[in-house]
Structure 1
Amino acid sequence: MRIADVGDLWWRNAVFYCLDVETFRDGNGDGVGDFTGLTESLGYLEQLGVTCIWLMPFYPTPDRDDGYDISDFYGVDPRLGTLGDAAEFIRTARSRGIRVIVDLVVNHTSDKHPWFVQARRSRNSKFRDYYIWRDRPTRNQKNMVFPGEEQSIWEWEPKTEQYYMHSFYRHQPDLNLTNSAVREEIAKIVAYWLTLGVAGFRIDAVPFLLAAPGSPDAADPHEFIRDLKRFVRRRSSEAMLLGEVALPHPEQLEYFGGQDGGELDAQFDFTLMDAVYLASVRGDATPIADALRSRPKTSEPVAWGNFLRNHDELTLQLLTDEEREEVFDALAPEPYQRIYGRGILRRLAPMLNGDPRRLRLAYSLLFSLPGVPVLYYGEEIGMGENPELPGRSAVRSPMQWTPERNGGFSPARPSQLPGSLTTGGFGPEYVNVRNQQMDEGSLFHFIRALIARYRTTPEIGWGDVELVEHDTPGVFAHILRTDHEGGMLALHNLTAEPATVSLPSAADIGGEVLTDLLHPREIPLQAERATDVHLDPYGFLWLQITPPGGAIV
C-alpha cells in the first residue's frame, strides 16, 4: 500500500496513550485526578511523543464500575472538573499536536441514569423501550463477562414485574440498540463531543453492543456501526472509530465492514497480543508469525491497534486452555493474580520480573509490529500493579510522578486518593517520572526513542508485512514495506541465549545495505548468499533496507 493512496488518515501512524483522568494527576489538591492536572501534564506527554490521548470515561457516574456506569453522557464528573475544563484540555492538547478520543460507552447506562430511573417506574414510560425487558429470563442467561460476580444477565424489577437485561453488572442495564430513539440519542451524544473537538471514539465491547445474548433480533446487527460511521464522517472528516472487539481475526473482519469496509476504522488486535505473550514464555516466535498470517486482508485502509496491557485484565481468552495455562504458570503463578479464568491482574514490568532486557524487547515488538501502538498510562516508566486493590483496580493505581509522598500524584491525604499506590520495588520511591526523565538510560527515554523512530518510519503504520523465513525458531523476523523494495527489517530474539540469524541474499531482501535505526552502524548484505546477523539475549534490531542506489533516511 502506498501512503499517497490512502489520504490523511492520521490514526494509521498515531501513538495512542490511554489514561483515566481520575488517576492521572490531581491539579487542585483534593486527592482526585482532574482535567486541570491532566492539562498541566500535556508537556510531559508531548515530550514522550504521544500523538493521541484516549480518555477513559470521565462522565458523571455513581462510580461502581470505574466510570463505565454512566449517568449523563453530556457532562463531566464534578470530581474531575467542569465541562469547560474538559473543553480547554481538548483545545490545549490539539494546540500541542495531540488529538483526543473518548470512550463511547453505549452498551448500557447506570441504573441511576434518568432514562432508566423513569423506565423502571412504569411500563408506560416513554423510556421503557430504551432498555430490554422480559417477563421471564431467556434460556441462555449465564453472565459471560463477569463470571463469578454476576450469575445471570437478567435482573428482576419488582415495581413493574419484569426482568431487565444487563450483559455486564446488574447496575448497568443494557440499552436497546434496535430502538431508533436510542440510536438518535447516541447520534446526539457523538455530535456533542465532536463539536467540543474530540477526534474520535473508542467504542467499548462492540460485540456485546450488537449481539448480546437475549437482546432483540435485528435485521442486520452491523447496521448500527455503519450508520454511526456515516454520521461521524458527515460531522468530521478526521474523526475515527476505534473498536474493542475481542474475537478471532476472521470475525473481526466483519467489524471493519468486511472486505469493503464501512464500519470501524481501527480495532485492537487481541489475537496478536495473546500470541506475543505465548511466544515470550515459550521463547518461540511461531505464535507471532501465525497471528500475523491470520490477519484478514481488506481493501480499506483500516488499522490494527497493538498493545501489551490495558485498563482491564490481560485477557487470554483467544488461547487454547493448554496455552492459557502456559502463560498463567509463567506470568501469573499465584491464584490472586488471575481473574475470570481468562485474565491476569498484573502490569507488564512485574510479569517480566523487572528485567530491563525483556521489557525493552517487548516494547520494541510493540512499536515495530505492523499497526499502531497503544500505551496504557505508566507503561513508559514500568509501573507495577497493586494487588491490594480489588479486581481489575489492581492495574489502575495512581500515576507515579515523583518519589515523594503519594508519588507526586496529589498533596492530599492518602485516604483521599482514588486508590492506594503500588508498594515495594515498583513503588514510586523506585519507579517514577522524575527520576526516569533525569536518567538517559531509563525505560522512559528508551520508549521515547522508539516513538521518535516509529514516527519517522512510515512503513510500520502504512506498510505491508512480510515474514522472513530462517532457521532460528527463537527469533521473530519481519519486513514492512510501502513499496516493492526497501523498507524496514525488524529482528527480535525471544530467548535468554544469544542467537544468529541467516538472512536471505540482498536480491531476496530488496536492498544492498541494512542501516541500524537505533544504533549508528551498517550491515552490508551479501549479493549471492545469506548474511549472518548476531542478536544478544533478548536482543533486537530495527534495520532500514536501502535498495540499490537508494538514499539512507
Structure 2
Amino acid sequence: MRVTDTGDLWWKSAVVYCLDVETFMDWNNDGVGDFAGLAHRIDYLAELGVTCLWLMPFYPTPDRDDGYDITDFYGVDSRLGHLGDLVEVIRIAKDRGIRVIADLVINHTSDQHPWFKAARSSVTSPYRDFYVWRDEAPEEDAEPVFPDQETSNWELDEKTGQYYQHIFYKHQPDLNVANPLVRDEIAKIMGVWLQLGLSGFRVDAVPFLLDTDGIVGGPEALPDPHAYLRSLRAFLGRRTGDGVLLGEVNLPRDEQALYFGGADGEDGDELTMQFDFIAMQNLYLSMARQDATPLADALRSRPAGHPDSQWANFVRNHDELTLDKLSDAEREEVFAAFGPDESMQVYGRGLTRRLPPMVGGDPRRVRMVYSLLFTLPGTPVLFYGEEIGMGENLDLDGRLAVRTPMQWNAGKNGGFSAAKPSRMRTPIVEGGFGPQHVNVETQRRDPDSLLNFIRSLVRHYRNSPEFGWGEFEVLDQALPSVLAHRLRWNGGEVIAVHNFSSEAKELSLDIPGIDGDASLNDMLDGGVIDLTASGHAVIPLVGYGYRWLRVIRHPDTTQY
C-alpha cells in the first residue's frame, strides 16, 4: 500500500457519492426523505468507503423540476428538515472522514423566487436586471434543452409585455450574470454554504451559465465570461484553500478544455474538475459493440490540461443518460442494445435506464463496468443505489425514472419509509430489480454481493493513488475487445485490463519501460503473472473479465 498526503488536492483520489435527500431515507415517515434520515445513514456511506458526499438541491422549491427550481438559495426545504439538520449531517460526515459538496444552481431561479416576482412586477423594479428581458423574442433561437416540454427559450410576461429568457423550463427564468449585483449575490450564496462546512460545489450546466449571447447588450456586457468563472474559483480558494468546483460541461473536447482554464486547460484556474461525458458516452458504445476502441479513443482525446485539474468518471448520473455527443448512427446502436423501447428513451438523445436492467442483470457485465469506473484515470462518482444494482421505474416521466427511493431492505417501501404507499413522494421500483430482490440488508450479509464487490473496489482504489494521480497511457495491443491502460505515479505503476466481449480472451501485452526482472501482481485475486525481461506478458481474461495489476520490479540478487 502506498500512502500519499493529498493535501489541498484531496479530490484527486476521492470517492464521490451523489444522492437526493428526498429519496434516500425518510426518518419521520411522511413519504419524503429527509436530513434526519441521511444522518442515520452516514455510517453506511463510510462503510462503503465514500469520501465525498454530493447533495442534489435541498433548497426551498415548488418542486416542479426535482428541486432545481429554487426559491431561496440560503435555506433548506421544509420537507427535508431545517438548517440545523443539514449542519448535523455535515458534522457527522466530517467525523467519518467524508466531505460534503452541494449543487450550485446559479443559471436560473424558480419563477416563484422573490427576485423574479419583484422583477416582473415592473420594468423599473431594482430586480429587473437580475434576469434577461427582451421586447421581442429573437427570430433565430437555439433548440430548447427539453424539446418535449418547451418550444422556445423565451416566454412572454403579459404584465410587462416583455419576454424573459429560460434556457430550461419556462418556470425557471435565467439569471443575468452580466449584472454585477447578481455576481455578488452568487458569491454570497457560495460564502454562506462554505461557512457552514461545505467543501465545494457541483456547478450545474456551466456552459449555459457563461453563455452571454442572449443577455441585454450581448457579449459586450460580459466580455470574458471565463474571467467570471476564474473569479468564482479564486473566491472558493480564498474561503477554503482546498474547495472544489465540479462542473457539468457536456461539450466537445476542445471546448471542455477551456473550462479548466486556458486554451488547452493548461492554466487550471477555472473548474477544479469536470465530468467526462465523452468517455461515458463512448463507454456505452463500446459495450454495445463489445469493442473497446470507442472508449480508448475517447480517453486518448482528453486534453492534457493542468496537473492539478481532474476528470470525474461516472457510469450513471441523476439526469438522462445522454448520448448527444455520439453520431446519429452510433446513438442508434446504443439505443438498440440498451433501450430499444421508446419508453426507455428521452429527448431523442438519451436513456432513462440504470445499468443492470440495460444488460439484462448480467452480473459479469455489471462488475466489469464498475471495475472499469474505479480504474479510469480520474475520480469515480457513484449515483446512489448503483452499489447494490438498483433498477429504474419506466412508469415515471423522463429523468425521474432513475430517481426512485433507496432500497434498504425487502420490507415495506424497501425500508425507505414507513409511510402509506399513497403518501410516497416517488414510488418504489417493482419487479426483478425491486427491493425484494435488490436491497442493502441482504447484500451486506452476502460476501459475493455487488455491494461487497463495490466495497472491495473502493478499498483497492483508495490503496492505489496511481488511479487518481497517475500519468495515463492506453497500451497498444491486438484485441479490439480489450482495453488495457497504465497509470504511473511516484514510482508506482498499475495496469488495468478489461474485456468488453462475452468470449474469453488471451491478451498478449507488451509493457514499455520494463527492463529486468518484474512481475504483475493481481490486486483483486492475489495471482502473479510473470513478465519477460522486455516487458511481455500473457494475460488470460474470461468473458467480460477484468484484472487490476501492479507492476512489481524485483531487486537484482546477482552475487558478485
Question: Is the TM value for this pair above 0.5?
Answer: yes
**What do the CA deviations read for 1:71-125 (whole angstroms, capped 9, x no partner)?**
0000000000000100111111101100000000000000000000000010011
CA shift for structure 1 position 269: 0.2
Q: d(CA) in 2 for partners of 1:120 and 1:549?
A: 75
Counterpart check, 1:489 vs 2:457: no
Return the letter of the residue paired with 1:231: F
Matches within 5 A, 1:29-48: 29-48=29-48
Q: d(CA) in 2 for partners of 1:441 and 1:6?
A: 32
Which of 207, 223, 229 is the aligned partner of 2:227? 223
Three-state SS of the structure 1 residue aligned to 2:71 is coil
Three-state SS of the structure 2 residue aligned to 1:532 is strand
Which of 482, 504, 510 is the aligned partner of 1:504? 510
TM-score after normalising by structure 2: 0.96
Match of 1:533 in 2: 539
Aligned length, in residue pairs = 548
**What do the CA deviations read for 1:158-216 (whole angstroms, capped 9, x no partner)?**
11110000000000000000000000000000000000000000000000011165234
Matches within 5 A, 1:59-458: 59-211=59-211, 213-215=213-215, 216-217=218-219, 218-258=222-262, 259-458=266-465
Three-state SS of the structure 2 residue aligned to 1:277 is helix
Three-state SS of the structure 1 residue aligned to 2:540 is strand
Q: d(CA) in 2 for partners of 1:66 and 1:529?
A: 53
Q: d(CA) in 2 for partners of 1:230 and 1:510?
A: 47
CA shift for structure 1 position 333: 0.5
CA shift for structure 1 position 547: 2.2
Check conservation: 2:274, 2:312, Cα contact below 8 A: yes
In 2 relative to 1, CA 529–105 (structure 1 residues): closer, same or farther, beyond 3 Å?
Answer: closer
Q: d(CA) in 2 for partners of 1:124 and 1:156?
A: 17
CA shift for structure 1 position 391: 1.5
Return the letter of the residue paired with 2:235: F
CA shift for structure 1 position 503: 1.5
Check conservation: 1:132, 1:174, Cα contact below 8 A: yes
Q: d(CA) in 1 for partners of 2:408 and 2:537?
A: 45
Q: d(CA) in 2 for partners of 1:488 and 1:151?
A: 50
CA shift for structure 1 position 510: 8.0
Q: d(CA) in 2 for partners of 1:519 and 1:154?
A: 57
Q: After the TM superposition, which of the residue ranges 14-23 and 291-300 deviates more from structure 2?
A: 291-300
Return the letter of the residue paired with 2:478: D
Check conservation: 1:3, 1:462, Cα contact below 8 A: no
**What do the CA deviations read for 1:35-57 (whole angstroms, capped 9, x no partner)?**
00000000111100000000000
Q: d(CA) in 1 for partners of 2:96 and 2:271?
A: 27
Uncovered stretches (5+) of structure 1, i.e. residues with no partner: none
Three-state SS of the structure 1 residue aligned to 2:259 is helix
Check conservation: 1:474, 1:495, Cα contact below 8 A: yes
Check conservation: 2:156, 2:163, Cα contact below 8 A: yes
Return the letter of the residue paired with 1:415: S
CA shift for structure 1 position 140: 2.7
CA shift for structure 1 position 526: 1.4
Q: After the TM superposition, which of the residue ranges 508-517 and 393-402 deviates more from structure 2?
A: 508-517
CA shift for structure 1 position 4: 7.7
CA shift for structure 1 position 6: 7.8
In 2 relative to 1, CA 342–126 (structure 1 residues): closer, same or farther, beyond 3 Å?
Answer: same
CA shift for structure 1 position 283: 1.0
Check conservation: 1:122, 1:160, Cα contact below 8 A: yes
Matches within 5 A, 1:441-480: 441-480=448-487
Check conservation: 2:517, 2:532, Cα contact below 8 A: no
Q: d(CA) in 2 for partners of 1:49 and 1:510?
A: 37
Three-state SS of the structure 2 residue aligned to 1:222 is helix
Instruction: Output the aligned Cα RMSD.
Output: 1.6
Three-state SS of the structure 2 residue aligned to 1:78 is coil
Q: d(CA) in 1 for partners of 2:317 and 2:333?
A: 21
Check conservation: 2:475, 2:511, Cα contact below 8 A: no
Check conservation: 1:436, 1:445, Cα contact below 8 A: yes
Return the letter of the residue paired with 2:338: L
CA shift for structure 1 position 511: 6.6
TM-score after normalising by structure 1: 0.97
Check conservation: 1:281, 1:326, Cα contact below 8 A: yes
**What do the CA deviations read for 1:208-246 (whole angstroms, capped 9, x no partner)?**
011165234220121211111111111111211000000
Check conservation: 1:3, 1:482, Cα contact below 8 A: no
CA shift for structure 1 position 288: 1.4
Three-state SS of the structure 1 residue aligned to 2:225 is coil
**What do the CA deviations read for 1:435-460 (whole angstroms, capped 9, x no partner)?**
00011100000000000000000000
Match of 2:530 in 1: 524
CA shift for structure 1 position 548: 3.5
Q: d(CA) in 1 for partners of 2:232 and 2:64?
A: 28
Which of 544, 547, 551 is the aligned partner of 2:553? 547
Identity of aligned residues (%): 56
Q: d(CA) in 1 for partners of 2:155 and 2:213?
A: 14
**What do the CA deviations read for 1:247-288 (whole angstroms, capped 9, x no partner)?**
111111100012112100000000000111111111111111
Q: d(CA) in 2 for partners of 1:431 and 1:425?
A: 8
Return the letter of the residue paired with 1:480: L
CA shift for structure 1 position 508: 3.9
Return the letter of the residue paired with 2:541: L
Q: After the TM superposition, which of the residue ranges 449-458 and 257-266 deviates more from structure 2?
A: 257-266
Q: d(CA) in 1 for partners of 2:555 and 2:191?
A: 50
In 2 relative to 1, CA 177–547 (structure 1 residues): closer, same or farther, beyond 3 Å?
Answer: same
Matches within 5 A, 1:12-27: 12-27=12-27
Three-state SS of the structure 2 residue aligned to 1:9 is helix
Q: d(CA) in 2 for partners of 1:396 and 1:119?
A: 33
Return the letter of the residue paired with 2:208: F
Check conservation: 2:3, 2:463, Cα contact below 8 A: no
CA shift for structure 1 position 534: 0.5
Return the letter of the residue paired with 2:547: L
Q: d(CA) in 2 for partners of 1:303 and 1:256?
A: 9
Three-state SS of the structure 1 residue aligned to 2:8 is coil
Q: d(CA) in 2 for partners of 1:260 and 1:43?
A: 38
Q: d(CA) in 1 for partners of 2:484 and 2:177?
A: 44
In 2 relative to 1, CA 535–83 (structure 1 residues): closer, same or farther, beyond 3 Å?
Answer: same
